[in-house]
Amino acid sequence: MIKKYKKGDEVIVTTGKDKGKIGKIAKVLVSADKVLIPGINVVKKHEKPSQDSKGGIVNKDMPIHISNILAYDAKNKKPSRVGFKIEEGKKVRILKSNGEKY
């Protein structure tokens, strides 16, 4: 898998119950091709009481597959695909919509 998305990237959700929502990537799960975005794909989980927590029903952010997100172009306020370009001997990520660095 090519690493197109990194921690801190601003992305927009393209499919599912959270379609159209914008957020920043908190964690990238490379082995599963998924990303964790706070406030996106939130589910209710039943938690057993332990020393740390009281237990009960808690809201938890679940990972979303990379194919369901696109990079968010804040300048044009629309989604964009991520591409690669070699500049000065280094491989850099660019937005396909306008060719700017991502």
Look at residue 2 and tell me if it is in a domain. Answer: no
Distances (CA, A) of 12 to 5, 34, 57, 60: 12, 14, 28, 19
Look at residue 17 and tell me if it is in a domain. Answer: yes
Here the tokens at position 28 are: 């990238």
Look at residue 29 and tell me if it is in a domain. Answer: yes
Structural domain including 57 reads 10-95
Q: What is the pLDDT of residue 81?
A: 95
Q: What is the pLDDT of residue 102?
A: 85
Tens digits of residue pLDDT in 30-39? 999 999 999 9
| CA separation for the pair 16, 40 (Å, rounded) | 10
Q: If you average pLDDT over residues 41-56, what whole number do you get?
A: 94
Q: Is the pLDDT of residue 1 over 70?
A: no
Strands lying side by side in the sheet with 69-73: 22-24, 10-13, 69-73, 78-80
Look at residue 1 and tell me if it is in a domain. Answer: no
Look at residue 102 and tell me if it is in a domain. Answer: no
Q: What is the pLDDT of residue 40?
A: 96
| CA separation for the pair 66, 82 (Å, rounded) | 12
Look at residue 55 and tell me if it is in a domain. Answer: yes
Q: What is the pTM of this model?
A: 0.85
> In which band, very low, low, confident or very high, does the pLDDT at 63 lie, cut at 50, 70 and 90?
very high
How many distinct structural domains can be found in the chain?
Answer: 1
Return the CATH number at 87: 2.30.30.30
Q: What is the pLDDT of residue 2?
A: 67
